[in-house]
Structure 1
Amino acid sequence: MLRARITFVAVTAVVAAILVTVVSAYRMVTPLIADQIDRGLADRVDTVLAILGTTSPLPVRPDMTEQLLTPDCTVTPLIPGRDPLPVSDADCAVARTGSGTAETDVVVGGKNYGVLTKARPGGGAVMVSQNYAEVNRVDSEFQWHATWVTALAVAVAALFSWFAIGRILRPIRRLADTSARITTTGDLTARLPDAGSGEVGDLTRSFNSMLAALRVSRAQQHRLVEDASHELRTPLTSVRGSAELLQRARGRLTPEDETKVLATLVQEAKALDALVGELVDLATDRHTTEPVSVLALPDLAEDCAQRFRRRSGRTITVIADDPAEVSARPQALARCVDNLLDNAIKYSPADIPVEIRVHGTRLSVRDHGPGIAPDDLQAVFDRFYRAEGTRSTPGSGLGLAIVHDIISTHGGTVSAVNHPDGGAEVGFQLPQSK
């Protein structure tokens, strides 16, 4: 579960930060306390040495024990009733030489003491000890307080992280639930509410955009299937009728009638082949996998024109005016020019040239046919659309639709206008290459 894993990571980070802080503080405070104890012992030794030379009584401290050490290492308690401090060789050496100091830790009556031995002017030494009980109590309380404060902080951090992360991940949970529902039901009408700014908000908006694109794609697929079935029905009906006629006649047709029926079959088969090919292009969009390169439109136009000159024997001229380079998929763009040329040749008289014009990043093909009705200028790029006056001519109504789809994927626009001197001018414009 993502929420639990992120909460665990957050709490682990909090615990690590607290432990580093506590350990660092403990290591910084411990030397200070030890230094304070050393200074307290030194001050007490100096006080005892100063008082021993006077008649003033020695102030009693319950946490300290004082005793005299003669040069021969004999112990004389300074506070009656206190247990004597154990004497080490180092202490005896200080008393015997009458110079220097000695520090050690001892255990008296089951309690830990810090002992400082300092030489006494004139011989001997003074030994002063301090009970570590208070220091141990402070250390124990520090550890105890650090433990429960850490535990409380961890609990608060875990609770806060759980709810905060749950709130942050709520849009992602909605996204996961919506994805699961779409996978199960296939319903693309779902839409996630806006999750605000930030990465999660961007993810939500991207998901909604993806759903919108899928809805459009599905609608286009449905429309394509419906239109394709409608367009396929006519040539299939003609092929079926011609085939049934040949089957029923069984050689009884005259050679002329049989030739007409066979010609119809061949013509309709060619129409079906062209229609199926264009449908495959529309459905698969195979040109989108082609790499993009920088192209010169006049060169592309000349290549396409040369190919159509050989194929059709028609005169095709290319006119370039201040051309600019574009970034596009070469084969896809060539398909667009081919479709425009095929369309222009179909509607232009055989003895009049077809013109390809390139101006900047715009390419257009002009024919000298009857032109396009004003009401049809915007519709000629729709799939399977055929104007009223062109339905008797060969074609499926998909050529310009393919041009529209390819140019749209390149970020360009298509246009169709009637030329003032007659004929139609159909073309596209692409963004200039950077």
Structure 2
Amino acid sequence: MARRPHLMLRTKITAVVVAAAALAMTLAAVMSYRGVSDLVGEEMERGLEDRTHTVHTLVSAGLAPPPRRGIADQVVSERGTVRRLTPSGPEIPVSAAALEVARTGKGGHLEDLVVDGTEYGVLTRPLPRGGAVMVAQSYEGAARVDDAFLWRVTGTTAAALAVSALLSWFVVGRVLRPVRRLARTTAHITATRDLTTELPPAGPDEVGQLTRSFASMLNALRRSRDQQQRLVQDASHELRTPLTSVRGSAELLQRGRGRLAAEDEEQILSTLVTETAALDDLVRELVELATDRYTDEPPATVDLAVLAEDTALRHRTRTGRTITVTTDDPLPVRARPRALQRCVDNLLNNAVKFSPADTPVVLHVEGCRLSVRDRGPGIDPADREAVFDRFYRGARTQSTPGSGLGLAIVHDSVTADGGTVFAGAAEGGGAEVGLTLPAAGPAPYAPVVGRRLRKHVPQARRIRE
């Protein structure tokens, strides 16, 4: 059976904490052990020197030193003859260095010797009347202290590690409790697809930040699903009318085959062509609105004035309409270039569609604001916000062909880039619809939209004049 993910994470974190504690404790134990060993060694050396000084003084005075456990005292003559001062202790071998001290009567010598399996520290000092005194001190006591300290440190470290592991397991469990709650909630959402499920409360720590991030993502998913559902409902409603018209016209042609007058057939076929074209436009705009082909397009610095000239030139060529571009201290903006190009195209398409053929359309750029003014029927004050809703058609434009998605696409694209849209009345009659985008900032920029129109800038200036 697979282990639960939160237990695996808990185990890993506990293992890391215990490993860090083990490393710190081991290092502290080793340093303490070395420090105590050095201290014991220094104490042993001082004790050997004190004993040697005492024996040296007593022997010089012709007295015998008192016996002491673990200590062997002896006198070495210049010829190497040994006289033991502590008969119960072992006889210490006389090394060449110790014999040299006895023969010359100068200096001193400290060495370690093993006698009968026991290690001794031996200190040799010369006597005033010749020869030398040798004092040997057993290291058995120091070894016992050393071993006892080592076992105690090892046992204490092991016990501390066990307590550390136990405390870490419980503490990490408490720390990960919000993560477990969040994991259970997200698993419930995944299994039930219920995006209305509330997430656990978010605290001020990193886990709380993670919870808030999940909440933001969940809200975005809710909005996305709601938008998709509304889009499907609105699309089904809008598609029903042209499809019904197409089906009715086709059934009429089928039933009246060969019996309809030529002008009636022509009218029915014209209706079929018109409704099919409307369906094609509606489906195309629905696909653009649903997929947002420019979502992954990176933002760039865009010159609104050059973009306006480019768009106006293309629409003049395609429609033959008079489209004028005016500017007032234009500023570069930050947006997705192709998405912004599509927005300006939709604004001009609306203006051309809803204004009389003999009236001009003005594209005005002021700072980071771009607007399109026409001489059409205008927009009622009550409809100025609703015109950006999907499939919305005002009372004055119900009979005009169109899907009602153009301005909705503009709204979604501009708001995605951090901008705003607006609609109002133009001076002299008609409507003014436009957008405002964030400025690109004072950094040097290179326009990425409308570059191919730079050779037409003189012509554009003449149009503005």
TM-score tier after normalising by the smaller chain length: over 0.9
Aligned partner of 2:76 among 69, 78, 90: 69
Q: CA deviation at 1:11?
A: 0.7
Q: Which residue matches 1:121?
A: 128
TM-superposition CA deviations, 1:386-434 (whole Å, max 9, x none): 1123221101110100000000011000111123531111111111112
Range moving further from structure 2, 418-427 or 89-98? 89-98
SS of the aligned residue for 1:287 comes to coil
Q: CA deviation at 1:186?
A: 1.3
TM-superposition CA deviations, 1:97-152 (whole Å, max 9, x none): 43343333334455332222222222222111112122112111211121112112
Q: Which amino acid aligns with 2:49?
A: A
1:393 aligns with 2:400: yes
TM-superposition CA deviations, 1:184-212 (whole Å, max 9, x none): 22111223223322332221111100000
SS of the aligned residue for 2:152 comes to helix
Q: What is the distance in 1 between the residues matched to 2:290 and 2:220?
A: 15
Q: Which residue matches 2:460?
A: none
Q: Which residue matches 1:130?
A: 137
Aligned partner of 2:250 among 224, 243, 256: 243
1:343 aligns with 2:350: yes
Q: What is the distance in 1 between the residues matched to 2:359 and 2:388?
A: 25
TM-superposition CA deviations, 1:35-57 (whole Å, max 9, x none): 33223222221211111232655
1:414 aligns with 2:424: no
Q: Which residue matches 1:198?
A: 205
Q: Which residue matches 1:184?
A: 191
Structure 2: runs of 5+ lacking an equivalent: 1-7, 442-465
Q: Which amino acid aligns with 1:380?
A: V
Q: CA deviation at 1:246?
A: 1.1
CA contact (8 A) 2:60 2:128 kept: no
Q: Which residue matches 1:357?
A: 364
Aligned partner of 1:324 among 331, 337, 346: 331
Q: Which amino acid aligns with 1:18?
A: M
SS of the aligned residue for 2:92 comes to coil
1:42 aligns with 2:49: yes
Q: CA deviation at 1:67?
A: 1.4
Q: What is the distance in 1 between the residues matched to 2:311 and 2:114?
A: 106
Q: CA deviation at 1:311?
A: 1.6
Write the mapping of 1:284-295 to structure 2, written as runs, cut at 5 A. Answer: 284-295=291-302
Q: Which amino acid aligns with 1:246?
A: L
1:6 aligns with 2:8: no
CA contact (8 A) 2:29 2:157 kept: no
Q: Which residue matches 1:58?
A: 65
CA contact (8 A) 2:119 2:140 kept: yes
Q: CA deviation at 1:347?
A: 1.5
TM-superposition CA deviations, 1:20-41 (whole Å, max 9, x none): 2222233334334323322322
Q: Which residue matches 1:264?
A: 271
Range moving further from structure 2, 232-241 or 47-56? 47-56
**TM-score (normalizing by structure 1):** 0.95
Q: Which residue matches 1:424?
A: 431
Q: CA deviation at 1:274?
A: 0.4
Q: Which residue matches 1:162?
A: 169
Q: Which residue matches 1:19?
A: 26
Q: Which residue matches 2:446?
A: none
Range moving further from structure 2, 162-171 or 85-94? 85-94
Q: Which residue matches 2:448?
A: none
Bigger RCO of structures 1 and 2 (CA < 8 A, at least 6 apart): 2
SS of the aligned residue for 1:425 comes to strand
Q: Which residue matches 1:277?
A: 284
Q: Which residue matches 1:224?
A: 231
TM-superposition CA deviations, 1:279-332 (whole Å, max 9, x none): 011110111222322111121111111111122111111111111110112221
Q: Percent of aligned positions with the same letter in both sequences?
A: 59
Structure 1: runs of 5+ lacking an equivalent: none
SS of the aligned residue for 1:385 comes to coil
SS of the aligned residue for 1:187 comes to coil
Q: CA deviation at 1:342?
A: 1.1
Q: Which residue matches 1:87?
A: 94
Q: Which residue matches 1:254?
A: 261
Q: 1:55 to 1:94 in 2, by over 3 A?
A: closer
Q: What is the distance in 2 between the residues matched to 1:433 and 1:280?
A: 30
Q: CA deviation at 1:178?
A: 2.6
Q: What is the distance in 2 between the residues matched to 1:398 and 1:186?
A: 30
CA contact (8 A) 2:377 2:396 kept: no
Q: What is the distance in 2 between the residues matched to 1:412 and 1:69?
A: 105
Aligned partner of 2:119 among 112, 124, 133: 112
**TM-score (normalizing by structure 2):** 0.89
Range moving further from structure 2, 260-269 or 386-395? 386-395
Range moving further from structure 2, 303-312 or 70-79? 70-79
**CA RMSD after TM alignment:** 1.8
